[in-house]
Amino acid sequence: MDFDSTLLLLAILIPLFGGLTLLGFRNLSTSVVRLVALTGFTVPLLIAVWLYFMFVGAEQVDGYRFFTELDTGLSFFGINLTLGLNGISLPLFFLAGIVGLAAGIQALNSDAGRRQLYLSLLLIMQGGLMGTFASVDIFFFYFFHELALIPTFVMIGIWGGFGRRSAAIEMTIYLTLGAMLSLLGLILLYSASGIDSFNLIAIREYLASQPLSETVQSNIFGLLLFGFGILVSLFPFHSWAPRGYAAAPTAAAMLHAGVLKKFGLYGLVQIAYPLLPQGAEHWGTLLMWLALGNVVIIGLITMAQRDLKQMVGYSSVMHMGYCFLGLVTFDAIGVGGAVILMFGHGLSVALLFLLSTAVFHRTQTYDMKEMGGLATRTPILAGMFVAATFASIGLPGFANFWGEFAIFVSLWNYNPWALVAAATGIIISAIYGLRAVAWIFFGKPSEALEEHWKENKPFELRQGERLSATLLFSGLLIVGFFPRIFSDYVDMDLTPYFSSEPPAVVETASAAELESAEGSQGILVAGSTPIDLSAKGEVAR
Amino acid sequence: MNLEVFKTIADSNHWGLLLPEIYLVGLALVLLVFEMLFKRQDLLLIVRVAIWGQVLLLGLIALSYIEGFPTGTTEAFSGLLLQTPATEVMRIFFISGSLLVSFLGMTYLKKQDLPRTEFLSITMLVTVGMMILVQSSQFVLFFVALETVTVGFYVLVAYCRRSPFSLEAGLKFLILGALSSAILLFGIVFLYGVAGNPSLPGHVSDSLSFSQLASFIAQNPSNPMVLVGASLVLAGVAFKVGAFPFQIWIPDVYQGAPTPVTAFLAVSSKAAGVFVLMSLVRGPFAALDSFLVPLLSTVAVLTILFGNFTALPQRNVKRLMGLSGIAHAGYLLIGVVASMTVDWAVYAVVFYLITYLLASFGVFGVMIHVAGDDDSDQEVDHYEDLGQRQPFLAGVLTIGLASLAGIPPLGGFIGKLLLFIAAFQAGLYGLLAAAIIGVVLSIYYYFGWIREAVFRVWRSPEGNGSNSQAEAHPISVTRVETVTLGGLTALTIAIGLFPTLVDCLMGL
């Protein structure tokens, strides 16, 4: 096991051990707790950054770099702890690092009671997240996801807001159903392939030579689609998400909505689509309609929200629809766009949850109609919030833009009418996003708020809040201006499994999309099209 | 029969194979002698002797495996006994179960001020019955062993004589248990009669022996008498397991029985039933698979659904454990059905039983501590704020229940995973669907219980309703109890994270 592979393992183990330490030893002094927690949150991000720079030159094992394999005692069933990163998992591994640190800083600066327990659960969640995206073995892929999921329930139950007890149970039941369905799908994949291995590489190689029959493929894909779909809040299985996020403590909501929810999409991109192409085709049309349901119906529901957290929760459900639409198109551009959007959305939704709590601390309410006039009192908070809203709408300059743009381009080839429906989503999200900004930051504060502010002057973003917001924000901007830092790798690993459109078609498609895409012709996600990045940046600005 | 025959029979009597059982019976008798010899204040000694005696037995067994776990099958007592690696594991399982029941009994009996010696002694004798039961490969021994277990349980269930609930449970268990024994016996007689019928092809001389019966049934798989007999035998065993439609006694008996006995019934008795069922359908009834697979599959589906649906609205935790135990019996039945086509499913079932033992005894251990004076009155509401009052017990409870619910990374998850893989390989897709529904339903009541214990409860500042109850029963946990419950919990987690045990089992 070489140095970089050890780092990959450490990125999982350090937060886990940190969490267990905090769980096991009570009455540690505050500074020790802070130190352990900060180490646990910072090390994964540092490792992610290091591995990113090592990525190009690293030795490959069947498309995976930093490959390592350990036996945990289930080798009878072909289950081994196999770790590695490829182009698809790299951005998400990175995402988990950034959001984890941001959520950790938020938690360290929050006023939650029993903070040691809170931090330890968050660290366990962080370890699970790093493990999910670094796993090559599909059993451990699932295992780490559940490891990250369990702390969420406890955190909602203990530190949650209004309605936490019922929200925690509802979420537990719903997500268990999703997890169980996807587990069944994964086991079925394992037993249908008949090679007695949960190793994704082995299954992939085997299925490449002996593809499954179409019926089997579509059955397995159906299980995986609905199992993962529930976890990603695919319409109409989304009802747990807004309620759960509204009740969850901020750090948990950031990690769950930002990173953990991407597990299902990641599973579809990494496992289901490459291995079961015919199954994907079979379910494609239905998935398109459901995804449009996410975009349009949930979009309209989001518009009707008055509660800030509910609105952010619903908007995150809505944006998942775009990711699904990217998958439906089944070509490298659309799927690549979905991966980039997963990255961008993870950062922007975490930022929005962070800032919503910050707003709450200054107004003591989540009801947006009761707020107002915060912009003059807390300009930095306002600026951050506006930027986060823009990112979430998908304006150029942020990572989300490139994701949605690529998805739209390939959606045009797939079904122009779907594109029309999906594009209305942009308008919808602009409406609710900007209206929320207007309600919260501009206009006159309500009388109750005026009263409240007489005694407690609204304070500007604190150091900790500022730090974690900046972290998330810089991630959004960097990928917004230089999407190629991830898109080349994503593309590299997607092209073998997804049909690449000939460049000519892409050009006509993007030309037709002139108005919504500001006339830029470069399809960044398709690395085959050479583009001048700096010119890209100009346009984006 | 002449002398030579007796001689050959006697030659196959390897008493050495039954040393653990003989040791346990001896220990049980020694306890009774101690009870006569010593005065009342020395009774603690008896408990210690009982517990350390069983620990020593486990240690001795472990020592005997120093040269490697037995991997072959041994037949002894002219075909009465059949020892396989799986039965070896089950014997250790039952001794561990007995040890844990004695341990829970120690806490419980002190709390309820009941005589201890008889309890411990009967527990061990019942355990010996179970150990013989899983090894038996002949119907007479099978029935005698099963009756030893059942009769012992009649006493244990009604052990708390002052409690009307316990007496009621004892009576119910007695009547229904006797009925099920009668059904079982009826089935055995049917098989005996039909297999010895000289007019049928392949009739055998010793139609009570499993192996000979198997050869007969293989030649007459559609004989109606065989089908009736097999169904009746399986029905009798299904009663012990608590499979639908023979589950109706479970909630009342589980609620009324003293909590350690409930644990004993829920874990060891159920394990014995499931294992016996599995050796029956893989042994004598193997040729009936086209009849048994649909039958048992239906039973499994109904058992899973019945257990989970009835447990949903349940507030009494003992009934909850009973009803959810029915659901677990259903999951295990999936393994039993799968074991007819997939050989390693036997070990999947055994592994599931082991994780079930670890998790259940943890939960029952917590229940004994939380319970008040009235043992049958244990509501979920009594667990409010356990996280504040006793964080340790709340942790044990949470891990135990989460493992029962099958949440990774705990042992229960690996157990369910293996059963599911086995069911996939056996092609039992309908059963899997039922199992998934069951698992999702079970989240509601298991997590509802965890929620009461761990999550804060909102109370109006003036209200002092349930606080007073909490203050009335300060819960104290001794060091031994901490070590034992903590050990069970740690094992549950360890098996989930490093299921090396699976590899050992599958290698057998």
Q: What is the pLDDT of residues B490-507, one digit of tens each?
A: 888 888 877 777 667 766
Of A363, A347, A361, A376, nearest to A470 by C-alpha is: A347
- For chain B, which residues score pLDDT lower than 50? 460-470
Cβ–Cβ below 8 Å for A176 and B439: yes
Measure the CA dihedral B143/B146/B151/B154, to 10°. Answer: -130
Report the distance separating Cα A93 and Cα B178, nearest Å: 62
Report the distance separating Cα B231 and Cα B280, nearest Å: 11
Report the distance separating Cα B417 and Cα B494, nearest Å: 16
Give the pLDDT band of residue A12 (cuts 50, 70, 90). Answer: confident
Cβ–Cβ below 8 Å for A169 and B456: no
User: Is some CB atom of chain B closer than 8 A to the CB atom of A154?
Assistant: yes
Q: What is the ipTM, given to two decimal places?
A: 0.75
On average, the pLDDT of chain A sits at 82
- Is a pLDDT exceeding 60 seen at residue A311? yes
Say how many C-beta atoms besides its own lie within 10 A of residue B36's C-beta.
Answer: 7
Give residue B425's pLDDT: 85
Give residue B459's pLDDT: 53
> How many contacts, defined by CB atoms under 8 Å, are there between A and B?
83
CA distance A272 to chain B (A): 19
Cβ–Cβ below 8 Å for B451 and A165: yes
pLDDT in tens, B135-148: 998 899 999 999 99
Give residue B40's pLDDT: 66
Give residue A509's pLDDT: 41
Residues of B in contact with A154 (CB under 8 A): 454
Residue positions counted in chain B:
508
Cβ–Cβ below 8 Å for B421 and A191: yes
pLDDT in tens, A328-340: 888 888 888 899 9
Under a CB-based contact definition with an 8 Å cutoff, are residues B449 and B380 in contact? yes
pLDDT in tens, A104-149: 888 888 877 778 888 888 999 999 999 999 888 888 888 888 888 8
Give me the mean pLDDT over the A379-399 stretch.
87
The label of the residue with tokens 């989540």 reads A366
Cβ–Cβ below 8 Å for B499 and A72: yes
pLDDT above 70 covers a percentage of chain A that reads 92
Give residue A515's pLDDT: 41
Q: Which residue(s) pair with A457 in the sheet?
A: none
Q: What is the CA radius of gyration of chain A?
A: 22
Cβ–Cβ below 8 Å for A73 and B499: yes
Give residue B462's pLDDT: 46
Q: Which residue of chain A is at minimal alpha-carbon distance from B414? A: A74
Of B64, B68, B141, B57, nearest to B95 by C-alpha is: B57
User: Is some CB atom of chain B closer than 8 A to the CB atom of A76?
Assistant: yes
Side-chain-side CA neighbours of residue A385 (13 Å): 29
Which of A147, A169, A187 is closest, CB to CB, to B409? A147
Give me B384's structure tokens: 């409010």
Cα end-to-end span (Å), chain B = 39
Give me the mean pLDDT over the A460-473 stretch.
84
Give me the mean pLDDT over the A385-409 stretch.
88
- Is a pLDDT exceeding 50 seen at residue A525? no
Report the distance separating Cα A326 and Cα A334, nearest Å: 4
pLDDT above 90 covers a percentage of chain A that reads 4
